[in-house]
A and B are shown apart, each in its own frame.
Chain A
Amino acid sequence: AQTVTQSQPEMSVQEAETVTLSCTYDTSESDYYLFWYKQPPSRQMILVIRQEAYKQQNATENRFSVNFQKAAKSFSLKISDSQLGDAAMYFCAYRGANTGNQFYFGTGTSLTVIP
């Protein structure tokens, strides 16, 4: 089965600074999708960004960008110009393109933003 590993249970960043959250995954598939979800204290799971494995270009959404290293099976999230509202749990997730709809989630990284 596919596994997703987030090795940083907690991270902190100074407001306006940049932080990178790590994620690695294990798969034998060649085509898949990767996601970062944000879960603020409200508990709502919100999609932050997604990456298709067949695309070499790293996905970017405003202040959020990823560093996708397919050979290394690494998918890190960079948050630039951190804001207080970025404080949340961040989950990395994987879905195979050809093996059904099941998503595999990491254990999450709790991000604190220091004013």
Chain B
Amino acid sequence: DAGVIQSPRHEVTEMGQEVTLRCKPISGHNSLFWYRQTMMRGLELLIYFNNNVPIDDSGMPEDRFSAKMPNASFSTLKIQPSEPRDSAVYFCASKRQLTGNEQFFGPGTRLTVL
């Protein structure tokens, strides 16, 4: 199995720029999660999808953040415009919705906003 794939692994951008993070879940997994990890706030759930439908986006910090899942094998997390306080590691994770218990995490994207 390829595991959860995230791209890019590292992203450095300037304040005000648009950033798009990408995730490919494990084939057959129909739940997908986006997390943000910082030293100050730990691991925060931003949003999660079941069968491509957003279920809970209450963790999305503000309107600058948006996430989409156009199909079962692809999701994006977009920040527009980006700010320095968005600097963090962003993880994508997936699981089988009904029968799976644990989440499988991708390697994360380290985002630095200058």
Chain A residues with CB under 8 Å of chain B are 33, 35, 37, 42-47, 50, 52, 91, 95, 100-103, 105-108
Q: Chain B residues with Cβ under 8 A from A103's Cβ?
A: 33, 45, 103
Number of A-B contacts (CB under 8 A): 49
In the complex, the answer to whether A102 meets B45 with C-beta atoms within 8 Å is: yes
A100 touching B56 by the CB < 8 A rule?
yes
> Given that A43-B89, A103-B33 are known contacts, is A33 also in contact with B101, CB under 8 Å in the complex?
yes
* B contact residues, total (Cβ < 8 Å): 22
Judged by a CB distance under 8 angstroms, whether B82 is at the interface is: no
- Return B90 CB to nearest CB of chain A, in Å: 11
Cβ-based interface call for B25 (8 A): no
Which of A35, A42, A102 is within 8 Å of B102, CB to CB? A35
Given the known A-B contacts A35-B102, A45-B105, A103-B103, are A108 and B43 also in contact in the complex, defined by CB atoms under 8 Å? yes
Q: Contact residues of B with A, CB < 8 Å?
A: 31, 33, 42-43, 45, 48, 50, 55-56, 89, 91, 93, 95, 97, 101-105, 107-108, 110
Tell me whether B55 and A43 are in contact (CB under 8 A). Answer: no
Identify the closest chain A residue to B91 (Cβ). Answer: A45
Residue of B nearest to A106 (CB): B42
Report A104 CB to chain B, min CB distance, Å: 8
Distance A37 CA – B105 CA, assembled complex (angstroms): 10
A68 to chain B, nearest CB (A): 15
Q: Which of A46, A91, A101, A107: most chain B Cβ within 10 A?
A: A101
Cβ-closest 5 pairs across A and B = A45-B105, A107-B42, A105-B43, A101-B31, A43-B108
